[in-house]
Chain A
């Protein structure tokens, strides 16, 4: 490993290129090459059977099962035997007034999360990068990284306890300024802030690590020459560090925006209560309730499918835009 590390969470680019070159190289005898490979390395093909079966059974069969979005699913007839109903489930969903609430809540929450949790780790990493190696720096890193390992259930219950009107220290603290106790969890307007800022609390240290690695990869000579030219620390951050971590930042932003619709079910579901449902019902939780609690399998699948398709579309679109603007993207 050298300093030229680039963070690229999904590296399909080299894969695609290799595919092209290997096709070109092997085209004359592709079939014989395959046969020879099977004969010589049959053990490898044997090895991969089980994991491949896993992907087929638990990833690809569900995709084919999603056909029930266009059917009136009956457990007796199975996914393929059920009656076709075309786009009826989708039409019902779009006509349902809850559709707009779900869309608004999902987008609002996800956008707010991306906006808050994108810049803060960058600021933390830049700050950590400025100070000298030592106990203080190590402590800050270790402590801010720790919450990432705490489970969602525990983070949510910590949030509830800390914010609780009767017991939590947050209300004690604002009580010192004469502000009456606030029921943060009973008021739907606070839901988004609670969700986003507890998320920032949990993930900032972890996300900063990626940027720290990118910062470590910046050529020290750049800093040297900038300093000789009389650049202040702030100017060096702006003109050396930020451009240096730009490719990493773009990829993380693309992933963040691209995953807007797949915002975590786990935490929202745990933070939900009847009082904040107006703001906290998102597509993922609605799918769970429709599908598993009300057993309306076809409708739940249709909503889930709608979500997946929008998500894929967003990812491709954002990646395209990012490549146009900055020249960096997930795939070429």
Chain B
């Protein structure tokens, strides 16, 4: 039973009952006010997004003349061709995919490997370990002490630095552990033991197949985190060949370092105008993978956050 459908049923029940009592005039006016407010919120959030997408499909001259607002003017795919033809951007894209896939595999495996034992009541010392984990959420050694560890492990300027130092999120451990505890009954474990299953066998053949929803949720959280993060790369990487997309984006979008060689003097003005559109196209290209999957996963995402949040 999903949370949202339950919530919606309750709302529907509310509204059908509401028809039995006539809405008063103040309530009607109040409802109109509520709708106006929601429209304002909707427009405020959507307008910048639409503006970016519209600009990215417009011609360079239309964008620099400020003629684009909600719809592409002089439609053009030039910016996309430029963006996808830039070797630095393509390399960033590939690197980000590697980090997102590899990092998520590592993160999910490690998270399950710690969350499952901690969910079992027969595991000795689980409360001490849990307290130890939660403490790391409240207090950390800081940037430099962590940097020193990564340096000592010779991970600086390697792909490992992108996937290992932030591999496990305590929050995700809590979510997985709560799920295991609330959905895998002890009787199931006892039955499996009677059939001769070991702990690992039980985890592999019974718990994991039953836990697909929560595994999907934490995997999504890790994927999106990896895709969007740039801090670890900023601190640990110096070799441009290893840069993830977000660092490339930062260089192009915020520091205005052109990805491509802008040595072509003849087309300099055009180049300059194109640079602006290129930014819009880059934003769309880099955010698209996340926003395309988002409507399908938003519900599960919320549910996952709630699972971790249920008391007990």
Contacts and interface: CB of A to CB of B under 8 A. Distances in A.
B27 A232 contact: yes
Given A131-B34, A265-B231, A51 B249 contact: no
A14 B311 contact: yes
Interface residues of B, number: 114
Interface string B279-311: 110010011001100110010001001111111
Nearest to A44: B117
Interface residues of A, number: 112
B148 interface: yes
A51 B147 contact: no
Contacts of A37: 122-124
A297 B114 contact: no
Contact of A287 (B7, B113, B142): B142
Contacts of A152: 228, 230
Contact of A124 (B41, B134, B229, B254): B41
B241 interface: no
A150 B287 contact: yes
A263 interface: no
Contact of A209 (B17, B117, B118, B302): B302
Interface stretch (A90-98, A99-107, A138-146): A138-146
A65 B152 CA distance: 12
Nearest to B193: A40
Of the listed residues B21, B31, B149, B174, the one surrounded by the most CB atoms of chain A closer than 10 A to its CB is B149
Nearest to B52: A158
A5 interface: yes
B7 A213 contact: yes
B77 interface: no
B30 A232 contact: yes
Contacts of B147: 291-292
Interface in B148-169: 148-149, 153, 164-168
B306 A1 contact: yes
Contacts of B294: 145-146, 149
B267 interface: no
Interface in A15-44: 15-16, 18-19, 22, 33-34, 37-38, 40-41, 43-44
B140 interface: yes
A184 B166 CA distance: 35
A117 to B, nearest CB: 14
Contacts of A144: 41-42, 45
B227 A151 contact: yes
Contacts of B31: 130-131, 233
Given A66-B145, A127-B38, A213-B3, A40 B122 contact: yes
Contact of B7 (A201, A212, A224): A212
B295 A142 contact: yes
A51 B113 contact: yes
Interface string B192-234: 0000001110010000000000000000000010011111000
Contacts of B280: 161
A216 B51 contact: no
B312 A11 contact: yes
B10 A292 contact: no
Contacts of A210: 305, 309
Of the listed residues A57, A143, A149, A158, the one surrounded by the most CB atoms of chain B closer than 10 A to its CB is A149
Of the listed residues A1, A8, A16, the one surrounded by the most CB atoms of chain B closer than 10 A to its CB is A1
A232 B26 contact: yes
B290 A150 contact: yes
B257 interface: no
Contacts of A60: 136
Interface stretch (A108-116, A186-194, A274-282, A299-307): A299-307
A169 B51 contact: yes
Interface in B2-45: 3, 6-8, 10-15, 17-18, 21, 24, 26-27, 30-31, 34-35, 37-38, 41-42, 44-45
A62 B149 contact: yes
A315 B139 CA distance: 11
Contact of A33 (B124, B129, B171, B174): B124
A315 B280 CA distance: 40
A47 B118 CA distance: 11
B191 to A, nearest CB: 16
A149 B49 CA distance: 13
Given A41-B122, A233-B27, A304-B144, A133 B8 contact: yes
B150 to A, nearest CB: 8
Contact of A151 (B10, B21, B153, B230): B230
A124 B42 CA distance: 11
B89 to A, nearest CB: 13
Contact of B45 (A143, A153, A234): A143
A157 B281 CA distance: 12
23 contacts: A12-B130, A14-B312, A16-B131, A41-B122, A41-B199, A45-B117, A52-B114, A55-B136, A58-B166, A59-B136, A65-B141, A124-B41, A140-B38, A140-B42, A142-B295, A143-B45, A147-B49, A151-B290, A156-B254, A157-B254, A204-B45, A227-B21, A305-B142
CB-CB nearest 4 A-B residue pairs: A62-B141, A304-B142, A216-B7, A65-B145
Given A44-B116, A145-B298, 4 more contacts: A156-B254, A301-B142, A308-B142, A312-B138
